């Protein structure tokens, strides 16, 4: 069974940093692109970033470029999201999600349970 378990969320002050992790199991991790998607409280879904299976291709939404860094350790089947210079508008539940296919551009399934990041003083 494919499982994704996020961790690392918490309360952080504006301007602070946080690193999220997503531990994967049940599939050959290096064969699939992985994404981060966030959801602000009471709001809709917002795609954040995606990384190819080999880590050669990465993409970000404009509002997080230069502040967030996606990475992966295929030997540990783990995806990361390093977040710095955090802002109040980054407050959200962050989900990691597996690409349905080997290519970066595909549907996302399944998703992890999410980890809450709260940016507040």
By CB under 8 A, tell whether 41 contacts other proteins: no
Cβ of residue 4: shortest distance to other proteins, in angstroms?
9
By CB under 8 A, tell whether 109 contacts other proteins: yes
Of 74, 77, 82, 111, which one interacts with other proteins (CB under 8 A)? 111
For 57, other C-beta atoms within 10 Å of its C-beta total 12
User: Does residue 75 come out as left (phi exceeding 0), alpha (psi in the -120 to 50 range) or beta?
Assistant: alpha
Q: Which of 10, 29, 27 is nearest to 79 (CA)?
A: 29
Cβ of residue 108: shortest distance to other proteins, in angstroms?
7
Cβ of residue 75: shortest distance to other proteins, in angstroms?
26
Cα dist from 93 to 18, 26, 30, 73, 90, whole Å? 13, 23, 25, 22, 9
By CB under 8 A, tell whether 95 contacts other proteins: yes
Cβ of residue 50: shortest distance to other proteins, in angstroms?
8
Of 1, 41, 56, 62, which one interacts with other proteins (CB under 8 A)? 62
By CB under 8 A, tell whether 67 contacts other proteins: no
Contact call for residues 24 and 77 (beta carbons, < 8 A): yes
> For the purposes of burial, counting CB atoms within 10 Å of the CB of 39, is it exposed (0-12), middle (13-18) or buried (19 or more)?
middle
Residues that bind other proteins (CB under 8 A): 37, 44-47, 50, 59, 61-62, 95, 100, 105-114
């Amino acid at each position: 069974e494919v499982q994704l378990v996020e961790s690392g969320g918490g309360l952080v002050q504006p301007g602070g940093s946080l690193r999220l992790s997503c531990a994967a199991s049940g599939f050959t991790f290096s064969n699939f692109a992985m994404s981060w998607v966030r959801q602000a409280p009471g709001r809709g879904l917002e795609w954040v970033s995606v990384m190819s299976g080999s880590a050669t291709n990465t993409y970000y939404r404009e509002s997080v470029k230069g502040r967030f860094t996606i990475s992966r350790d295929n030997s540990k089947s783990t995806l990361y999201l390093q977040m710095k210079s955090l802002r109040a508008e980054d407050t959200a539940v962050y989900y990691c999600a597996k690409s349905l296919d080997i290519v970066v551009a595909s549907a996302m399934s399944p998703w992890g349970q999410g980890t809450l990041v709260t940016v507040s003083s």
